[in-house]
Amino acid sequence: KRFASGSTDKSIIIWTSKLEGILKYTHNDSIQCIAYNPVTHQLASCSSSDFGLWSPEQKSVSKHKVNSKITCCSWTNDGQYLAISLFNGVVSIRSKSGEEKVRIERPGAVPIWSICWNPSKDEHTDILSVADWGQRLSFYQLSGKQIGKDRALNFDPCCVSYFTKGEYIVMGGSDKQVSLYTKDGVRLGSIGEQQSWVWTCRVKPDSNYVVVGCQDGTIAFYQIIFSTVHGLYKDRYAYRDSMTDVIVQHLITEQKVRIRCRELVKKIAIYKNRLAIQLPEKILIYELFSEDNTDMHYRVKEKIAKKFECNLLVVCSQHLILCLEKRLQCLSFSGVKEREWLMESLIRYIKVIGGPSGREGLLVGLKNGQMLHRLETDYVICLLKRCCRGKIMKYA
C-alpha cells in the first residue's frame, strides 16, 4: 500500500500506491539506505551520520547517532531487531527502539557494504550474511557469534539478497556480474555478466526472477531455471538436492541417504553398486559397503581430479562414459582415456544394458534417429534407424 524513498537531498518521503507523497522528514546527511520492518509499518532510514525509526503511531522520528558512515541495514524476520553495517567494519544490531544489543567488530576494519538476514522460517536461529570489501562473505547468529569461517570472494561485494525461502543467495559487485550462491556461501555459478560494477540485486518474492542495477545505469532482469540432475538404476534413484547435495533413494524400502558434496553437483550417474558425481573440478566415484540389495551406505572408491566438459555421464562397473556432442569417451576410474568413438550425429541418450564387469554394453540414441549398440569391442552396431528424431529410449 505504501513505499518509501530516500535521496541525496537528505529527505525521506512516504508514498501511497498512487504516487502521492503523504509524509516527509529529513536527516542531516544524505540517505544511504532504508528498510521497512517486515511485521509492522516501522521504517528505518539511515544517513551517513545517524539512523531514524519512524512509524505511523509516532508524531516524531527518533534518531540515533553513529560514529561511522552507514552502508546497509536489514530487519530480522520477526521485526524485533535491525542490523546496521558501517564503513569502519562494524555491524550494530539494534532493538526496535534503537538501543544497541550486539556489536560485531570485523577484523581488518574494512567497509561492510552489504548485509542481509536469511528470511527462512525453517532455520533455528536468525542468520545474518555479511559481505565486506576485504572480499569476504561471513555469517553470524543474532548473538554475534560467527557461523563457520569466512568465505573468500575475490571481488568487492556491493549487494547481497536472499531467495524468499532463504535457500540461495545472489550477490554482485566489482566483478561486474551477479552470481548465485548456496545459503552457506558456496558459489554455484554466474547468473549474468555486465559492463560495470553491480551495485544492487534483488530477488522477486516467491519466484526465481532476479533484477540487477549497475553503475553505468543498466537494469537487467533474469530468470533462473534450476534443471533436474538425477540418475536411475532399477530400484535406486539418485538426485541433486540444494544444488550441492545428492540424495539416493531406495524405491522399495523408501530409505534415503544424503551425500554432502559442498560443491555444485553437475552430473549424476548410478549403476549397480556404483555412483558417480561430477563436480566442477573433479568426479567422485562411490561404491556400496556391501552387496546387500538394501544397503544404503556409500563410500568413496575413486576420485578423478580433472575438469571435464560433457553433456552426459554414465558409470559402469569399472569405467566412466563421457559424452560431448558426437563423441563418446571411455575412461578408467583413474581418469585414463581407454577408448573413444565418434558418431555421425549428436548423441541424445545413453543407457548401460548390462554385461560382464568391465565389458558392459551401451545403447546410444542419436539425434538423427539411429539407435546404436556398443559392445565391449571397438565396433558399434546400428540396431535401428528412424526418420524422426529421438530423445528418450527404453530397453526391455
Rounded to whole angstroms, how far apart are CA atoms 360 and 315?
Answer: 10
pLDDT of residue 377: 44
Whether residue 23 sits in one domain with residue 85 = yes
Quote the longest CA-to-CA distance of the chain: 85
User: Closest Cα to residue 294, out of 257, 248, 253?
Assistant: 253
pLDDT of residue 118: 96
Neighbours of 68 (CB within 10 A): 18
pLDDT of residue 174: 97
Rounded to whole angstroms, how far apart are CA atoms 211 and 36?
Answer: 19
Rounded to whole angstroms, how far apart are CA atoms 30 and 7?
Answer: 6
CA angle 119, 164, 258 (to 5 degrees): 85
pLDDT of residue 322: 94
CA-CA-CA-CA torsion sign (281, 147, 256, 273) = positive
Phi-psi region of 254 (alpha: psi -120 to 50; beta: other; left: phi over 0): left
Phi-psi region of 146 (alpha: psi -120 to 50; beta: other; left: phi over 0): beta
Reduce the DSSP state of residue 389 to 3 states and report it.
coil
Q: What is the DSSP letter of 356?
A: S
In a domain, 392, yes or no: no
In a domain, 199, yes or no: yes
User: Closest Cα to residue 86, out of 54, 116, 117, 109?
Assistant: 109
Whether residue 284 sits in one domain with residue 216 = no
Rounded to whole angstroms, how far apart are CA atoms 91 and 105?
Answer: 7
Whether residue 286 sits in one domain with residue 262 = yes
pLDDT of residue 353: 87
In a domain, 334, yes or no: no
Q: What is the DSSP letter of 176?
A: S
Tell which of 308, 340, 362 closes a domain: 308
CA angle 96, 144, 260 (to 5 degrees): 120
Whether residue 132 sits in one domain with residue 280 = no
Residue range 356-366, pLDDT digits in tens? 888 888 888 88
Whether residue 218 sits in one domain with residue 241 = no
User: Closest Cα to residue 162, out of 123, 220, 111, 109?
Assistant: 123
CATH (domain of 122): 2.130.10.10
Neighbours of 132 (CB within 10 A): 26
Tell which of 205, 223, 241 closes a domain: 223
pLDDT of residue 180: 97
pLDDT of residue 291: 84
CA angle 283, 287, 289 (to 5 degrees): 150
In a domain, 349, yes or no: no
pLDDT of residue 323: 93
Residue range 105-151, pLDDT digits in tens? 998 899 999 999 999 988 889 999 999 999 999 999 999 999 999 99
pLDDT of residue 366: 87
Residues in the chain, pLDDT under 50 = 375, 377, 379, 381, 383, 387-388, 390, 392-396
Neighbours of 205 (CB within 10 A): 9
Reduce the DSSP state of residue 392 to 3 states and report it.
coil
Q: Give the domain range for residue 153.
A: 2-223
Residue range 10-29, pLDDT digits in tens? 999 999 989 999 999 999 99
pLDDT of residue 396: 46
CA angle 330, 248, 325 (to 5 degrees): 30
Whether residue 167 sits in one domain with residue 151 = yes
pLDDT of residue 393: 47
Whether residue 263 sits in one domain with residue 147 = no
Whether residue 206 sits in one domain with residue 125 = yes
Reduce the DSSP state of residue 289 to 3 states and report it.
coil
Rounded to whole angstroms, how far apart are CA atoms 269 and 313?
Answer: 6
Residue that has been written with the C-alpha cell 568426479 in this structure? 283
Tell which of 264, 287, 308 closes a domain: 308
pLDDT of residue 379: 46
Whether residue 202 sits in one domain with residue 55 = yes
Rounded to whole angstroms, how far apart are CA atoms 209 and 78?
Answer: 25
Rounded to whole angstroms, how far apart are CA atoms 290 and 240?
Answer: 24
Rounded to whole angstroms, how far apart are CA atoms 214 and 202?
Answer: 12
Question: Into how many domains does the chain fold?
Answer: 2
Rounded to whole angstroms, how far apart are CA atoms 11 and 93?
Answer: 24
User: Closest Cα to residue 274, out of 241, 236, 242, 309?
Assistant: 236
Residue 135 contacts residue 124 (beta carbons within 8 Å): no
Residues written for the chain: 396
pLDDT of residue 385: 52
Whether residue 219 sits in one domain with residue 98 = yes
